[in-house]
Amino acid sequence: MKAETRSRLEGALKAKGDLKLVAYIMAGHPSKKRSIEVGKRLAASGIAALEIGIPHSDPLADGPVIQRAGQTALAHGMTVAGAIEVAEAVARDGVPVVLMTYINPVLSYDPRKFAAEAAQAGVAGVIIPDLPIEEAEPITGWIRSASLDTVLMVAPTSPPERIANICSHSSGFVYCVTVTGITGIRKDLPDGVLELLAEVKKHTTLPVAAGFGISRQDHLKALRGKLDAAVVGSAIVDEIERAGDGVSLVRELLKACR
Amino acid sequence: MSRGALTHPVDGRFGAFGGQYVPETLMSALQELEDMWHEAKADPQFQLELAGHRRAFIGRPTPLYAATRIGDHFGGTHIHFKREDLCHTGAHKLNNAVGQALLALRMGKKRIIAETGAGQHGVATATVCARFGIRDWVTNVRTTHYIIGSVVGPHPYPEMVRDLQRVIGDEAREQYMSLDGKLPDVVVACVGGGSNAIGIFTAFLDDRDVSLVGVEAAGKGIRSGEHAASLVGGRPGVLHGSYSYVLQDGDGQILPTHSISAGLDYPGVGPEHAFLREIERVEYVAVSDKDALAAFKLCTRLEGIIPALEPSHAIHHAGVIARELGPGGRILVCLSGRGDKDMDSIPTKSEAEAVTSRGPLDVDEG
């Protein structure tokens, strides 16, 4: 069973008649300094949590926008240690920060050192998309013993028994991938998302968040009341790429959340 | 030791290596693939069908060829080539593509995707799509089968591709034994992802007196950093869904690689190779671009066989082993593909060395 006390992420993402918004930025995109600035502005824009990506050379779950951001960040020298510094600077402002990266940079850094330093930096949780439940231990155990949440993902292709298993091992929230492909900006929410969310809700009391392909007010209106939070990634990263900061987009989207 | 090797993978792992480091989206497809592959493998009807396509479409069994002129050149060694270059489409890749296409049909998958980095696997995949009337096109996880071309990627791919490529070694061992009832001293194969090597090694794993040597691409030299030798010059990590040896920087970012041969130019290696190295059943070495080119020319000139640049690395190392074994040594080389695909690049690259005449390379391909 889960601990009696709610984690920071759990508390921040649980909907209370509204829909919470989670924003995503890539550490070091377009530069370390700028990603800290943008992260701080987003943190103050009304979001419930901020995901900060640590760039990887082989981002197999990411679409073109986030891939490009990762390449830019790597070309400008972003590292795992540098991304933890970005997270620390943004987390200082009080928003719960979730680090999102792939397993190889974590393995290379040493998962225990990574967990300890992330916790020290004030990070609330970690998402590793290429670490499915079969491969999760001992790595997620180490991360959790540093008092960080380990957010696991369910997909439209996950059968109900897997969804139950993933929900029982996730902490902070459960991340619903809404499409069978990669991240990116899409016009419509894919078919079957609401059914998937209903299935996930059966298996957990944790907040449930949906991500991958969410970028518009009508997406959020359709989701409100069906889950706790929505993650907006590529649409914000796209604005950052075009020298924006995503804040006005977040404010627009928040109108559909209340 | 090697008896244990044959029973792997266990729970998707070869010792510590392998696994399924992929997004949740792919997990149920991998589970389905594993179930279907184990079912197909045990089905005599599937095996019969596969055997028929191997015979009539791929052109198996491929010959075992005594490379006597190269053997004499190496000082009186008995060198044999397993002629995978004589497979339809010119390389061992079709062994795998045919098997996976049959499996895709059995699973009711209407579409196929494949990675085409080295070309030969892309050709093999397009070929089976034509042969079996499957569309070669990307769509979604539920309707598409991804034909991975080597013993890499998440479980069950390394196991499945091994099972489909082991026909190389099964045939070669029988053919070799029928010569004089004895086994080779050494079996040599090139290793990129490592499918032809696993294919020929598997049959010999239990033959403790047979040394097995995998040859990676040293490119411009291991110290130059411009190479593709994951086992010789890399360290353990996760690439493309499995835990194995990877060429990566200190922060876990995958490094660019270099090899004159596209088929070896890969920053990872199959997890079973990492395991076979760890248990010291197979030795892994690396051969440079320059040495591979020299072996390419030697083989073309002395045997009238144009090897692909990939197995040219193995041929060069066979020469090194021949000198160690002395006259009478017995070496089996996996000639994994033919070299006419490399003809465009070779003259210019070797001209840069400005040493040898172009004579042996002026081959009429028509």
pLDDT at B333 over 90: yes
Distance CA A181, CA B97 (A): 24
Residues of A in contact with B29 (CB under 8 A): 157
Structural domains in chain B (count): 2
**A61 touches B: beta carbon within 8 Å:** yes
Tell me if B366 is assigned to some domain: no
Q: CA angle B163-B168-B172, nearest 5°?
A: 135
**B182 and B309 inside one domain:** yes
* The last residue of a domain, from among B137, B163, B189: B163
**B125 and B228 inside one domain:** no
Strand partners, A230: A21, A210
Tell me if B285 is assigned to some domain: yes
pLDDT at A178: 83
**B208 and B341 inside one domain:** yes
The reported pTM is 0.93
**B124 and B235 inside one domain:** no
DSSP state of A60: T
Distance CA B52, CA B338 (A): 23
* The last residue of a domain, from among B147, B163, B179: B163
Selected residue of B11, B17, B21 to mutate for chain A interface (largest A Cβ count, 10 A): B21
pLDDT at B344: 78
pLDDT at A1: 42
What SS3 class is residue A88? helix
pLDDT at B359: 39
pLDDT at A162 over 90: yes
Distance CA A195, CA B35 (A): 27
**B13 touches A: beta carbon within 8 Å:** no
Q: Which domains does chain A have, with CATH numbers?
A: 16-255 (3.20.20.70)
| Interchain CB contacts (distance < 8 Å): A and B | 96
Nearest to B270 by CA among B339, B335, B189: B189
pLDDT tens column, B174-204: 999 999 999 999 999 999 999 999 999 999 9
Tell me if B7 is assigned to some domain: no
Interchain pair A155, B140: CB under 8 A: no
**A135 touches B: beta carbon within 8 Å:** yes
Mean pLDDT of A217-243: 92
Owning domain of residue B137: 14-57+92-163
CB–CB of B91/B307 below 8 Å? no
pLDDT tens column, B291-307: 999 999 999 999 999 99
pLDDT tens column, B90-147: 999 999 999 999 999 999 998 888 877 667 888 899 899 888 888 765 556 678 899 9
Nearest to B212 by CA among B222, B224, B201, B223: B201
pLDDT tens column, A181-208: 666 666 677 778 889 999 999 999 999 9
Nearest to B63 by CA among B82, B37, B43, B40: B82
A158 to chain B, minimum CA–CA distance in Å? Answer: 6
pLDDT at A214: 85
Interchain pair B25, A105: CB under 8 A: no
pLDDT at B366: 32
CATH value at residue B134: 3.40.50.1100
Nearest to B254 by CA among A182, A108, A64: A108
Confidence of residue A23 (pLDDT cuts 50, 70, 90): very high
Distance CA B337, CA B351 (A): 23
- Give yes or no for a cis peptide into A64 (omega within 30° of 0): no
* The last residue of a domain, from among B145, B163, B181: B163
Tell me if B2 is assigned to some domain: no
Nearest to B310 by CA among B335, B330, B284, B329: B335
Selected residue of B26, B32, B143, B251 to mutate for chain A interface (largest A Cβ count, 10 A): B251
Sheet with B135-136, edge to edge strand ranges: B135-136, B111-114, B144-147
Confidence of residue B357 (pLDDT cuts 50, 70, 90): very low
Which residue in A153, A159, A181 is closest to B140 by CB distance? A181
Residues of B in contact with A167 (CB under 8 A): none
Mean pLDDT of A209-224: 88
**B318 and B188 inside one domain:** yes
Distance CA B269, CA B239 (A): 9
**B241 and B217 inside one domain:** yes
pLDDT at A189: 73
